[in-house]
Structure 1
Amino acid sequence: MADLGAQAHILSIYLIPLVLAITMHEAAHALVADKLGDPTARQLGRVSLNPIVHVDPVGTFVLPGILLLSGSPFLFGWAKPVPVRFGYLHHPRRDMALVALAGPGINIVLAIAAAIARHGAVNVDGALGEWITGNLDAFVNVNVVLAVFNMLPLLPMDGGRVLNAILPPKLAWQHAKTERYGLLILLGLLFLGPLLGSIWGMRINLIDPILRPPVEFVFRWVYILTGWGDPLG
């Protein structure tokens, strides 16, 4: 029962930050796409802060829940992708990169805002104060990791979109062909290590050495800008 209580407490702290971070991430993609000439997302109701139109049951709830309750060092997920029609954009390659950057960009802004708000939350006493500060800490953590995770240079991740936009056309065409394998590679990084580790009796985490350095770098700058927490803690 104690374990269940602890898990419920952790979920109560991370659920709201995770849903808000993913919702704002996708809404930012949709808004920037609309401003740059593609009305598709707006017509589908995706320029919205309503989580219901963005969340994906597996990516928003199941995967983060598994990672959280399994003690994963990183918590991340995804929502339903925002549809972008390349040909509608005013300057297709440049604008596709801007649309891709909008999601991680808003996550960094949200992390900084939550870190600033954290300073005021310490004045709230008791269990409510602990819950609020816990949520704000989780909001910083989730947004930083979500931003870095989405900037992995794999298609269909945002980082893959940006890389594709800046590559020379011939290389961009070859890179675009890798999109069919991107999610398989990502799932392999997430789950192959733990699977092999359970077979061999070892702890293997393939995603940690990839994500940790850039995550720590971003945390350090959030700390420098806001004075929030321990930059590596």
Structure 2
Amino acid sequence: ILGLLDDSPECRAFKQQLADLSLIYGKRGERGTLVTKTVNPAPLLETLQYYFRQPADFLEKQIHLWETERNERLQSVRKTLQDYPQDVVEKFERHLKMTENANQLRELNNEWLDVPIMNYFRRLVQEFARRLTESKVLEKTIDVYHLTADELQEATAMLPEVMEVRQRVHERQVEEEKFANVTPPAFMGAYPVDAVYTLDPLTLSYLNTEAPNPVDVPGGLGAVPASPGKVIGRAKVLRCTTAIN
């Protein structure tokens, strides 16, 4: 598709506008790294091309199909919940309403915002380092990471006058080397032996955390703590995975 945009002046102008927008809004970071890349717009254009080729009522029919499928699944779940205690049913309906009103696009938050901004910030700090090194304020560019943000701004504002920061950089490097060989404790303070795990499975799924280990009940039925409180009702014991259905 991008190759076809070179066929006319209007298409070439659009292609240039698309490239300019990609430089501003098309940066996507890679989680776990400081790398930021410009996203290839071809898949987006192909998707738009696909939608333009569909009938005028395509979107309306697709939404109707999704709504029908959702309602069928919801009816099935509610039918299953008829045998559950009322507070369980109310909790399901409450969480259902929450998810309907607060659907989160997680990729936008991390890959498009949090990760790229760290790359931009690092590049900004590296520019500070280049200028301060050329001005003899710092001995090496990597020394910039041993200064605070206020110190960077102050040292830069004083240029071409040289602000004395090398001594504090050296002291912080020595301190860093000292603690680099220290093994940190597993946790701070006393471990809460009688701690109660109060997060329910829905909250755990949002936090991307693992569920706690099953509770060992001597002479009883062990289980994984989830929703707080007590419920009286029927329980089904699954002794193997084939019994789930």
What band does the TM-score fall into relative to the shorter chain? under 0.3
* Higher RCO (CA < 8 A, seq sep 6+): 1
Greater helix proportion: 1
- Given the two structures, how large is their TM-score scaled by the length of structure 1? 0.24
Bigger Rg, structure 1 or 2: 2
**TM superposition score normalised by structure 2:** 0.23
